[in-house]
Amino acid sequence: MLGLAHNDSFSHGIHPPEMKDETSHLSIRRFPFAPLLIVPLSQHLGKPAVPVVRAGQEIVRGQVIAEADGFVSVNMHAPASGIVKKIALAPGIGGNMLESVYIEPYPASSQEVQDGEPCDLDTASADDIIGAIQRAGIVGLGGAAFPTHVKLKPPEGKRLDTLIINGVECEPYLTTDHRVMLEQTADIFNGIRYLLKATGAAESLIAIEGNKSDAARKLHDECPSDLPVSIRVCPVKYPQGAEKMVIRSLLKREIPSGGLPADVGAICVNVATTAEIGRLLPRGHGIQERVITIGGPGVKRKGNYRIPVGTTVRFALEEAGAAKDISRVFLGGPMMGPSVSNLDIPITKGTSGITAFTTVQINEATGHQKIYPCIHCARCVEACPLFLNPSQLGILAKNEEYDRMVEDYHLMDCFECGACSYVCPSHIPLVQYFRLSKKMIRKLGAAQ
Amino acid sequence: MSIAVLTLAALSFLFASLLVLAHRKLHVDEDPRIDAAHQMLPGTNCGACGFPGCLGLAEAMVSGSALPGKCTVMNEDEREDVAQFLGVDAGAEEKVVARLACAGGTNVARNRARYEGLESCRAATLVAGGGKACFWGCLGLGDCEVVCDLDAIYMDDHNLPVVIEDACTACGDCVDACPKDLFSLHPVSHHLWVACKNLEKGDAVLADCEVACDACGKCAVDAPAGVISMVDNLPVIDYSRNHNVRKAIERCPTGAIVWFEKDKGPVAGRAAPKVIRQRSRQSSPT
């Protein structure tokens, strides 16, 4: 492709079926308001927000309903105009119960959003922008839901030179970032301006995977000439979209074990997050909706939707038309997305999609799958993008030798991309072992 | 040849004498009673006494800082034997056992999803909390049964762990193993027991589990003032007061508050529904 910088990739990794063709050409559509919206006070990593509304109160779409509690926390905004029914426990993605605000939208609730205090790009200082991002409730929309403003403030003594906008989206089935890049191109560049000012970085790179060439082309063509942005197209490979992998591919820098991107002078922000910053900050709005892909073989009307935060998975699937024998539902993609045990959980800021499968496919893929012993074929070793040894880690996890897993095999660097479990011919649930081990290590560490 | 033999002989003599000297010089007089007492202890090294294994307790008993009653594995006669041998009082310690704060077996509690993966409660908890409809309830995959060295826990027909009180030494392994924190250690005299941890109230709770506490508060009213208080939609028993009030369980509409009877296990009150269903409750898909 002329004029676009092609980029090397990282070593290792896998090539799962991309499955993006069914939704990648469908433009983003608005989703109706559900009769009941459940907004958890903890949709981000960090301290839950503190509610500032009470049961029975009338609220307007876009109004702040909960305020950040401390620095690692963000505001919550009303997804619809309506009435606060109650503030009570509601099931969350992890199967846990979270304090949430139940909102009953008015039947004819408008999509109009109440304007807040705008953050003007020309006059605002770096700290003003960081504060505005926190007030807007912006978190990493790629799935981790880490408060974005915390990332923008690097630890003392660290300088950021490069801003990476992550539009890789390597998860199968998901096409939200793809559509955002095509439809919110101007917002993205606006967001980059805010982010460059807030971080003081000199240049920015937009990373895109090769299967989204139309988006790369559009961003390249519409890039304002005064903005230090270059578009980099990476080869299609999973997990190209992981922060560590993007930085490795684009900058050839390696984040030290246990370190942050700031340690190598880089900051990585998801492209949808950037677009939201560019869209919301000039108007003083907050995140009260997000773009998700509802897809997978278990969904009839697949598509990309702008859905209010707090819509339950059940309502979303009913609206999009779920197959009768729907059997497994993931929030996000099938590689890293958590599977849900309850359809009444709300879609939060960190949910990038709903992927549903039917019984037939699940049975074909994993049904009656027996776990065999490790045959030391080393396929997982060749798949692991971090050069860990999943085979040995799996054996140690089975024997509960947690100390050796951490000290000799660097378990804590694993970001659970699932490449090892995907290639394992013995069907060993390696990532589940690692998650369990990490949990046990944290528990044992806390006990000491 | 002869030089080699002589050198080796001289060396071995030298090292032997060094060993003899070291043995004399570094000799520690150990109370022979420690070893004898250690032999009399059960040797399970369960740690329930709070000392590092049976040898730790034996040393503590000989030094006088602990009494044989600390050991919960021995029976009355064995404790008396040790006490007589050491010439001390047996020290009457009340038997403590592990109790499970959930009664939601598969016959009464609903599953919302089917869990597939590692057969372990701890692993299942990390996959959307496991398939059980009640977030707080027992997942029934038996981590506690596996971790119990004394075989004092078995899984019943409805995948609910049962503690064999006579075998339980209150070592606390199951307390640590349970990812839902359902086990706690209690003296056997604590008959009154809340077998539920669900923090919600009303009909929503009963839709998930037939024997859950729906926070009606009848037990708190029926018990003498202060014994039972409702905290976060659950009755909390103040065991520092006289909690020997069986009438508190009688009006419980679900049987979430029970009376532990020796050899009979938990007994629900008269108002509790009699569950005769043997098979699993129907699960609705996801």
Residue from the list B118, B285, B286 with its beta carbon closest to the beta carbon of A432: B118
Q: Which CATH architecture has domain A5-25+122-283?
A: 3-Layer(aba) Sandwich (3.40)
Do A250 and A10 touch, CB atoms closer than 8 A?
A: no
CA B13, CA B34: separation in Å to the nearest integer? Answer: 34
Rounded to a whole number of angstroms, the distance from the CA of A168 to the nearest CA of chain B is: 26
- Predicted confidence band of residue B281 (pLDDT cuts 50, 70, 90): low
3-state DSSP assignment of residue B156:
coil
Contact (CB<8Å) A339/B117: no
Query: What pLDDT is stored for residue B5 in this prediction?
Result: 95
Query: What pLDDT is stored for residue A233 in this prediction?
Result: 93
- Predicted confidence band of residue B95 (pLDDT cuts 50, 70, 90): confident
Instruction: Give whole-number Cα distances, A206 to A152, A164, A265, in Å.
Output: 17, 6, 16
Contact (CB<8Å) B113/A340: yes
Contact (CB<8Å) A327/B285: yes
Q: What is the pTM for the complete model shown? A: 0.86
Query: What pLDDT is stored for residue A367 in this prediction?
Result: 63
Residue from the list A326, A327, A435 with its beta carbon closest to the beta carbon of B126: A435
B199 shares contact with chain A (CB less than 8 Å): yes
- Domains along chain B with CATH numbers: 43-86 (1.10.15.40), 97-185 (3.30.70.20), 189-277 (no CATH)
Query: What pLDDT is stored for residue A395 in this prediction?
Result: 94
Contact (CB<8Å) B199/A89: yes
Which of A436, A438, A440, A443 is most worth mutating to test chain B (most B CB atoms within 10 A of its CB)? A436
3-state DSSP assignment of residue A131:
helix
Residue from the list B112, B116, B126 with its beta carbon closest to the beta carbon of A342: B112
3-state DSSP assignment of residue A88:
strand
Residues 144-183 of B with CB under 8 A from A: none
List chain B residues with CB under 8 Å of A338: 127-128
Query: What pLDDT is stored for residue B242 in this prediction?
Result: 85
- Predicted confidence band of residue B286 (pLDDT cuts 50, 70, 90): very low
List chain B residues with CB under 8 Å of A96: 129, 135
- Predicted confidence band of residue B7 (pLDDT cuts 50, 70, 90): very high
CA A352, CA A128: separation in Å to the nearest integer? Answer: 28
List chain A residues with CB under 8 Å of B131: 341
- Token pair for A275: 């677009």
Query: What pLDDT is stored for residue A1 in this prediction?
Result: 44
pLDDT at B278 over 70: no
Contact (CB<8Å) A342/B126: no
What are the DSSP calls for A384-438, one per residue? -TT---HHHHHHHHHTT-HHHHHHTT-GGG-----HHHHH-TT---HHHHHHHHH
Tokens 């008959």 belong to which residue? B191
Query: What pLDDT is stored for residue B277 in this prediction?
Result: 61
- Predicted confidence band of residue B139 (pLDDT cuts 50, 70, 90): very high
- Predicted confidence band of residue B207 (pLDDT cuts 50, 70, 90): confident
Residue from the list B116, B117, B135 with its beta carbon closest to the beta carbon of A95: B135
The DSSP output letter for A361 is H
List chain A residues with CB under 8 Å of B200: 89, 97
> For chain A, what are the domain ranges?
5-25+122-283, 379-447
List chain A residues with CB under 8 Å of B135: 91, 95-97
- Higher-confidence position of A202 and B286: A202
Residue from the list A94, A343, A366 with its beta carbon closest to the beta carbon of B286: A343
List chain A residues with CB under 8 Å of B118: 429, 432-433, 436
Rounded to a whole number of angstroms, the distance from the CA of B210 to the nearest CA of chain A is: 19
How many contacts, defined by CB atoms under 8 Å, are there between A and B?
A: 65
Quote the percentage of chain B above a pLDDT of 70. Answer: 95
Residue from the list A328, A341, A440 with its beta carbon closest to the beta carbon of B130: A341
pLDDT in tens, chain A (448 residues): 445 667 788 889 999 999 999 999 999 999 999 999 999 999 888 899 999 999 999 999 999 999 999 899 999 999 999 999 999 989 888 878 889 999 999 988 788 887 778 888 888 889 999 999 999 999 999 888 899 999 998 888 888 899 999 999 999 999 999 999 999 999 999 999 999 999 989 999 999 999 999 999 999 999 998 999 999 999 999 999 999 999 999 999 999 988 889 999 999 999 999 999 999 999 989 999 999 999 999 999 999 999 999 999 999 999 999 888 888 899 999 999 998 988 999 999 999 999 999 887 777 776 667 889 999 999 999 999 999 999 999 999 999 999 999 999 999 999 999 999 999 999 999 999 999 999 999 988 887 7
Contact (CB<8Å) B285/A338: no
What are the DSSP calls for A171-218, one per residue? STT--HHHHHHHH-HHHHHHHHHHHHHHH--SEEEEEEEGGGHHHHHH
List chain B residues with CB under 8 Å of A433: 118, 123
